[in-house]
């Protein structure tokens, strides 16, 4: 893999393998993510999606293969990678004894010691969350949709070069899901890059520039939604997936 190849992409994954004991969760996957692209991973539970996200987030060590994030090798340069990314797990929650604003201030303190920078970061988070006066209420009083908006704001307010979002609209209704998708699109319009996973194939189709279909630790197809629908003569990505995994 040449240096030029790495520089053309935000993320380059080559023959990634991740095992847990004798179980091989990821079985040699390869893909690239372009700059300012929304790249989606779709597949059933246990397919390996979350493992891949955690590897790229530097939370898991790889078994073999390589992963480069903005030219940094995650095995050698994990601390450099962490400065450029933000990761939102599916199971993430806010601290219920803090207000929404207090939670954003708490998170901002990990990213900067400069008071002006922290204020700017928190104000950006408040703007992204769109919670109005409720930002001053304890997060324990928030609905699931409000909490998720706060968490997405937490992930994006630090202005990462790469936002890694695991099931960003998990459990949300149609209106809240649409709002979250809007936040993600706005982030990319401002030159951010997004890697996300989702069970919601309609969401992936609406949101992503390219997608990878993964099952049993293997990537079965990669392409734009339109390319994949055309290739499999399908009306939607759900039909594509069913055709691929048969």
Statement: residue 5 has pLDDT above 70 = no
Q: Give the tens place of pLDDT for each residue, 168-206.
A: 888 788 888 888 898 899 999 989 999 999 888 888 888
Bridge partners of 237? none
Residue 135 has pLDDT above 80, yes or no: yes
Kindly state the tokens that stand for 215: 């099952």
Nearest to 101 by CA among 76, 131, 57, 73: 131
Percent of the chain with pLDDT over 70: 97
Kindly state the average pLDDT of the residues 14-33: 95
Going through 1-140 in order, the beta strands assigned E by DSSP cover 9-20, 23-34, 38-42, 64-69, 72-73, 85-88
Q: How far is the first Cα of the chain from the last one, in angstroms, to the nearest whole number?
A: 33
Nearest Cα to Cα of residue 61 among 74, 73, 47, 43: 74
Nearest to 193 by CA among 174, 182, 213, 208: 208
pLDDT band at 112 (very low <50, low <70, confident <90, very high): confident
Name the DSSP letter for residue 92. Answer: -
């Amino acid at each position: 893999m040449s240096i030029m190849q790495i520089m053309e992409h935000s993320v380059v994954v080559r023959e990634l393998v991740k095992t847990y004991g004798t179980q091989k969760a990821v079985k040699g996957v390869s893909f690239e993510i372009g700059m300012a692209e929304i790249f989606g991973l779709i597949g059933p539970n246990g397919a390996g999606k979350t493992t891949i996200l955690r590897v790229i987030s530097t939370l898991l060590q790889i078994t073999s293969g390589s992963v480069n994030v903005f030219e940094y090798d995650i095995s050698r340069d994990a601390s450099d990678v962490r400065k450029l990314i933000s990761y939102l797990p599916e199971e993430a929650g806010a601290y219920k004894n803090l207000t929404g604003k207090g939670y954003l201030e708490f998170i901002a303190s990990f990213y900067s010691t400069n008071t002006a920078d922290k204020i700017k970061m928190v104000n950006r988070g408040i703007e992204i969350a769109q919670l109005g006066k409720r930002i001053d209420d304890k997060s324990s009083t928030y609905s699931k949709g409000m909490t998720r908006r706060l968490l997405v704001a937490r992930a994006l307010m630090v202005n990462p070069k790469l936002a890694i979002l695991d099931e960003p609209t998990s459990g949300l209704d149609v209106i809240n899901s649409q709002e979250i998708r809007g936040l993600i699109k706005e982030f990319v319009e401002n030159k951010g890059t997004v890697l996300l996973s989702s069970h919601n194939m309609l969401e992936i189709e609406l949101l992503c520039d390219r997608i990878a279909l993964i099952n049993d630790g293997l990537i079965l197809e990669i392409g734009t939604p339109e390319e994949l629908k055309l290739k499999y003569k399908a009306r939607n990505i759900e039909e594509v997936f069913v055709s691929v995994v048969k």
